[in-house]
Amino acid sequence: MGRKSLYLLILGVLLAYYVYTPLPENIEEPWRLMWLNTHLKTIVHLATFVELLGLNHFIDSMMIGMSFSEVPPTSDENVTVTETTFNDVPVRVYVPKRKSEALRRGMFYIHGGGWCLGSAALQNYDLLSRWTADRLDAVVISTDYRLAPKYHFPTQFEDVYNALRWFLHEKVLAKYGVNPERVGVSGDSAGGNLAAAVTQQLLGDVDVKIKLKVQSLIYPALQPLDLDSPSYRENSDFSILSKSLMARFWSEYFTTDRSLEKAMLSHQHVPVESSHLFKFVNWSSLLPERFIKGHVYNNPTYDSSELSKKYPGFLDVRAAPLLADDDTLRGLPLTYIITCQHDVLRDDGIMYVTRLRNAGVRVTHNHVEDGFHGALLFLNSKISYRMINQYISWLSENL
């Protein structure tokens, strides 16, 4: 074998090693997921390297990589797409073109991205909004919000809440031909977090007369107190969203001080005076046995009050909807929650299902055994089509 052939062989082996990702046997189209993971892994590695050189913040570099997937607000034969602002918050509005004699459903959608990345303009969110508008004959509002690291909690929450309150004005709903009795909120990942948080916040807002009919949460992130649940352990290095990346996102939501991220990963960030909050996120009592599977609950190591005094947001129910008390949960609307087996956030969603049901809320829980974080928006894949059909079918029956 010549030297050139040897070099090509070595390069091929290294490339195959980089691309190959061990996946569970029940994952459909594994090579498609491997290529997606390779793309994301490359962006993460480059962003990490650039940050180590001191040239750019990790999140800012990630955002540059994602910006190439944004699309303009282009109308098609079925849906009119426009951009505007709701209470100074940028939104995209999707309105079906076919005439409707009755008032339409309204869906307020919040994109994911760890409170740091993403926008309503990303192609996957644009397509999901088009399909939702067309298939449900609904007006879809896909909102943006300011992102970390430039902005921290509660800015993201406040942007989304202010935009939603604006949409819920009777005059605004009338302008878009939306039935005030058929409005829902939805979001995925960090957007699911924000959807859950604003839905809770609306319960105590006496100025908002129109109430949500449904909330739909897609693999939501619901608490940063315990990143040591079974799903975090089992999927700590899984494709798309690892435990370390999720801890980085949670930390960036509150601060650029990475000491919070390190404390979260070591389970040492909650002060002893807040220990009572763990009853709301104790997976040993809130998860069905099949998700515990022999995992042993580790009591947290309590921190001093230093981090919580600097960054109190991680103990705020607006950032961690699972911390809401039962009295708050009882007032929530009909709920749909998607969780995926191969996802660090799986247990957050399942614990919320348990707590909502215990509080008397009607909940439909769609647990996707072969699912992974981001699967619903893994477009052109079998699992994405299946999950989107289930999501839209539920909305069609309940919104």
Name the residues annotated as catalytic.
Answer: 189
Cβ-proximal residues to 138 (8 Å cutoff; 6+ apart), any chain: 96, 104, 105, 106, 107, 132, 395, 399
Report which of 192, 152, 147 is spatially closest to residue 311, judged by C-alpha positions: 152
Give ∠ CA 223-224-228 in degrees, rounded to 5: 100
What's the rounded Cα separation, in Å, for the pair 266 and 349? 22
On whether the CB atoms of residues 21 and 239 are closer than 8 A, the answer is: yes
Q: Are strands 138-143 and 214-218 parallel, antiparallel or unpaired?
A: unpaired
Give ∠ CA 122-189-360 in degrees, rounded to 5: 135
Instruction: Kindly calculate the radius of gyration of the chain based on its CA atoms and give it in whole angstroms.
Output: 21
What's the rounded Cα separation, in Å, for the pair 181 and 301? 47
